[in-house]
Structure 1
Amino acid sequence: MSALLRLPEFKRLTLYFLPTYSPELNRIEILWHKIKYEWLPFRKHARSERVEALDGIQAGFGKEYNLTFC
């Protein structure tokens, strides 16, 4: 059974229906993988250290930390 999706008519709107879980197609998943496994040091962080490290990555994004989506 499929639900009918009603949208206003747009001339240049393209809808892509993704599988329920497709991390390789979700850009935030790709970014988080890069942060978690490459940019953060591999050790246990206290909450304040983790927040500080993530703030540093966010501040350096586009300069020190780069990501390309292929």
Structure 2
Amino acid sequence: MGNPRAFEGKREATQFKAAGEEPLIAKIDLKVTETMKQELRAIPGWQAKLRDAIAQLIEAEQCKQM
């Protein structure tokens, strides 16, 4: 079965770090075409750029609701 404490303390050390205070631990599944996936992954730093775009979308939507 293994040692349940084998990874204790290691999870925190391997979490992705965001520019803010919150760790990047949540995941979202999104369906895109295979072409879009390949083109997106060809962009250097695509993950950070996509997170920024999502944050901008959320901010814009929150401003509309006010």
| More helix, by proportion | 2
Q: Which has the larger radius of gyration?
A: 1
The answer to which structure, 1 or 2, has the higher relative contact order (CA under 8 A, 6+ apart) is 1
TM-score by length of 2: 0.27
Compare the two structures and name the one with the higher strand fraction. Answer: 2
